[in-house]
Amino acid sequence: MSSRTIPIDQLAIGMYVCGIDRPWMDTPFLRHRFLINAQGQIDKLKQCGVKKIAIDLDRGIDVQTSTEDQQAHTQTSQEEGAVNTERQELQEAEERIAHLPPTLRGKSLSHELSSTRDIRGQMLETVGDLLSSVATSGVVQASHVKELTQDIISQTLDHEDAFIALIRTNEFSTDLHEHSLSVGTLAVLLGRLIGFDDAQLQILGAAALLHDVGLVRLPPALLSPKNRQTPQAFAHYQSHPQLSLEIVRESSGLPDQVQQIVEAHHVLLDGTGYPDSLTPETVPMSSRLLRVVDEYDELLTGQQGLPPMSGKEALRTLYQRGQQGQLDQQFVTQFIAQVGIYPIYSLVELNTGERGIVTSHSQDNLLHPTILLIQDASRQAYHDPIPINFSTLHDSNPVPEIVKVLDPEREGIHVENVLADWITI
């Protein structure tokens, strides 16, 4: 990704924002990555006190773009904006519609999730083979790591919402390859969000993939939290960053930065964590980033000895730990913006008892996505699913609210089938 930082006064329609100099909590935008297609977006950024903006030159125009090109891009954006406005008015005029008209850039939600599931399945096999090879040979093949990391970066950035959705949220699994791929995926997404270039993403992705590789040298039973509750067992488990470092160090062809990131990925900024030989001041920025995404996946899967959490609960816990000084608060808030409170494809339940699937986010309100209602309060399927944009329901009485996130598999709901005829909004 090619990017540059500019003053807010240079921001123009047609530019693609990829970073903001304000914490996520202080802005009305769900994510700090979006195309500027209306002056109102620029006005909101200024109202929030934003002074500097990072723009993605691969996905939008640059400051140096000629006036003629910018006017053409602006006209196209305005035309697309008009189409979107007309579509929103049509949606609000109809209380129940069976299908939404495809958008210019829309894609099948069902196909996106299904194809990404296949891609991720192939990646899991490759990661599993890599870890098995390390367990046998004791070293990592640098060429394999590089190739796999490049694949993770490419596929993750092309299918980010689907990859986030597929990171498991059900019972804890001792599968190291699942955890390694999930952390690698999330690290790449957060790294891209904060402006890492391709070389930095490659190093970060490799470190994320290998951060727990030392666990292959420990008894498999220690992968389960219930088997490391004694001081001796936990101390043994805490040796895994050093074991990971040894494996990476003994493997030729991996950058030195990967060693540094791997070694420090369990150090906390309040001086706790491990190993004791490292202090917060010595922790690389990429290790602080990796700690955030690693902790998120550990919370989802119960690897910290707590019951597995929902995505929303895990994000709340991350935020609290950031406030307490254990985690990098800036990375935490950016990560929350990246993942979203209610990720696309989430199955949610409303205070009305109805259930729906999140199909898109509202950039104007973090807690109010657009969902597709699929079941009534008695769990009967709607013949025609009902799209609802929560950001437009302020005057409803009562205002519907999301009260919980559910596991589609446990509820017997096949998300791809439900979304088969639907297009992104």
Listed residues 288, 320, 339: the one ending a domain: 339
Please tell me the distance from the alpha carbon of residue 353 to that of residue 373, in angstroms, as a whole number.
11
Domain-located, residue 405: yes
Q: What is the CATH number of the domain that holds 195?
A: 1.10.3210.10
Regarding whether 313 and 201 lie in a shared domain, the answer is yes
Regarding whether 186 and 292 lie in a shared domain, the answer is yes
Q: What is the pLDDT of residue 425?
A: 40
Listed residues 67, 93, 119: the one ending a domain: 93
Regarding whether 154 and 232 lie in a shared domain, the answer is yes
Ranges 27-36, 40-49, 223-232, 265-274: which has the least confidence: 27-36
Is 248 in contact with 210 (CB distance < 8 Å)? yes
Regarding whether 238 and 128 lie in a shared domain, the answer is yes
The pairing of strands 355-360 and 347-350 is antiparallel
Domain-located, residue 114: yes
Listed residues 272, 306, 339: the one ending a domain: 339
Domain-located, residue 406: yes
- Banded model confidence at residue 391, pLDDT cuts 50, 70, 90: confident
Please tell me the distance from the alpha carbon of residue 64 to that of residue 27, in angstroms, as a whole number.
27
Q: What is the DSSP annotation of 151-213?
A: HHHHHHHHSHHHHHHHS--SS----HHHHHHHHHHHHHHHHHHTT--HHHHHHHHHHHHHTTG
Regarding whether 262 and 235 lie in a shared domain, the answer is yes
Ranges 25-29, 322-326, 402-406: which has the least confidence: 25-29
Regarding whether 181 and 77 lie in a shared domain, the answer is no
For residues 392 and 394, the model is more confident at 392
Domain-located, residue 151: yes
Q: What is the pLDDT of residue 111?
A: 83
For residues 209 and 173, the model is more confident at 209
Please tell me the distance from the alpha carbon of residue 150 to that of residue 267, in angstroms, as a whole number.
27
**Which among 55-59, 227-231, 363-367 has the top mean pLDDT?**
227-231
- Banded model confidence at residue 91, pLDDT cuts 50, 70, 90: very low
pLDDT greater than 90 at residue 174? no
Regarding whether 277 and 131 lie in a shared domain, the answer is yes
Q: For the residues 3-18, what does the mean pLDDT come to? A: 90
Please tell me the distance from the alpha carbon of residue 259 to that of residue 279, in angstroms, as a whole number.
16
Helices (H), 21-175: 39-47, 67-93, 109-137, 142-158, 160-166
Domain-located, residue 99: no
pLDDT greater than 90 at residue 325? yes
Ranges 52-61, 218-227, 302-311, 390-399: which has the least confidence: 390-399
Range of the domain at 399: 347-418
Regarding whether 181 and 72 lie in a shared domain, the answer is no
Report pTM: 0.70
Please tell me the distance from the alpha carbon of residue 365 to that of residue 369, in angstroms, as a whole number.
8
Regarding whether 242 and 170 lie in a shared domain, the answer is yes
The pairing of strands 347-350 and 16-20 is unpaired
Is 16 in contact with 55 (CB distance < 8 Å)? yes
Domain-located, residue 34: yes
Torsion sign over Cα 268, 269, 270, 274? positive
Q: What is the pLDDT of residue 401?
A: 84
Token pair recorded at residue 381: 């399927």
Regarding whether 327 and 251 lie in a shared domain, the answer is yes
Name the residue among 105, 21, 104 with its Cα closest to residue 55: 21
Domain-located, residue 104: no
Whole-number Cα distances in Å, 182 to 98, 124, 176, 261: 35, 10, 10, 17
Q: What is the pLDDT of residue 97?
A: 30
Cis, peptide link before residue 400, omega less than 30° from 0 = no
Regarding whether 284 and 141 lie in a shared domain, the answer is yes
- What's the one-letter identity of residue 313? E
For residues 244 and 400, the model is more confident at 244
Domain-located, residue 98: no
Regarding whether 206 and 127 lie in a shared domain, the answer is yes
- Domain total in the chain: 3
Task: Please list, residue by residue across 308-340, b when 16 or more beta carbons sit within 10 angstroms of its beta carbon and e when fewer do.
Answer: bbbbbbbbebbbebbeeebbbbebbbbbbbbbb
Other residues' Cβ atoms within 10 Å of the Cβ of residue 132: 12
